[in-house]
Amino acid sequence: MVIRVLVRIARSIHVISALWVLLLGFAIAADVIGRGLLSMPIQGTVEVVKNSVVAITFLQLPLAIFSGSMLRTEIFADALPWVGRKLLRTAGYLLGFALFALIAYSAWPEAVQAYQIGEYEGEGALRVPTWPVRFLVIATSAFAAVAYISMIWLDWLDQLELEIAYPGILTYDAQAASVMTADRGDNA
């Protein structure tokens, strides 16, 4: 039940990141057109894009983890038996958990300081505060760490797909399975 809620939240923030990318595309296009045709660029576009890229990337992490889409190599996994592959996945999940837990922990003081001092990017017409993106990185890193722990739990309960190449939420989540297996041409 809790994991289903986490997956729904991961999907929702992934949709938010996709809409953010779309809006960013329009902003960049308007800036380029304004700069090229009218010699009037949109003030602050660079600062907004710079902060948005970081935010969008971190918003997409939890769903990538839950779907088994994080980058990995199969050179060792192919040579291992079933239990060895599961142990290798668990080690990878633990490393992912540690990485994102440490990111969340280490980013906290700088985010608080950025909020307290009113840190911003840009000069002149548009000053973009940096603290919202800093706190977003903390929140999504913490969520990514929880996602990795959830994947360990699901893997050891045999609720993940058991195939070598794609150990995501497929067995656990029928809706994700139907979408992802259609992409691969499987009949699962």
- List pLDDT tens digits, range 44-100: 888 889 889 999 999 999 998 988 877 766 777 778 888 888 898 899 999 999 999
111-124 burial: b if 16+ Cβ within 10 Å, else e: beebeeeebebbee
Record the tokens describing residue 168, joined without a space. Answer: 């995501």
Record the tokens describing residue 123, joined without a space. Answer: 């000069």
Q: pLDDT tier at 163 (50, 70, 90 boundaries)?
A: low
The average confidence (pLDDT) of the chain is 84
For the segment 29-48, what is each residue's pLDDT rounded down to a tens digit? 999 999 988 888 888 888 88
Q: Which residue has the higher pLDDT, 178 or 85?
A: 85
φ/ψ of 69, rounded to 5, equals -100, 5
pLDDT at 187: 46
For the segment 122-149, what is each residue's pLDDT rounded down to a tens digit? 776 778 899 999 999 999 999 999 999 9
pLDDT at 177: 53
Cβ atoms < 10 Å from Cβ of 94: 13
pLDDT at 173: 56
Is residue 7 packed enough to be buried (19+ CB in 10 Å), middle (13-18) or exposed (0-12)? buried
Record the tokens describing residue 76, joined without a space. Answer: 């060792």
pLDDT at 188: 43
Percent of the chain with pLDDT over 90: 47
Whether pLDDT at 180 is above 70: no
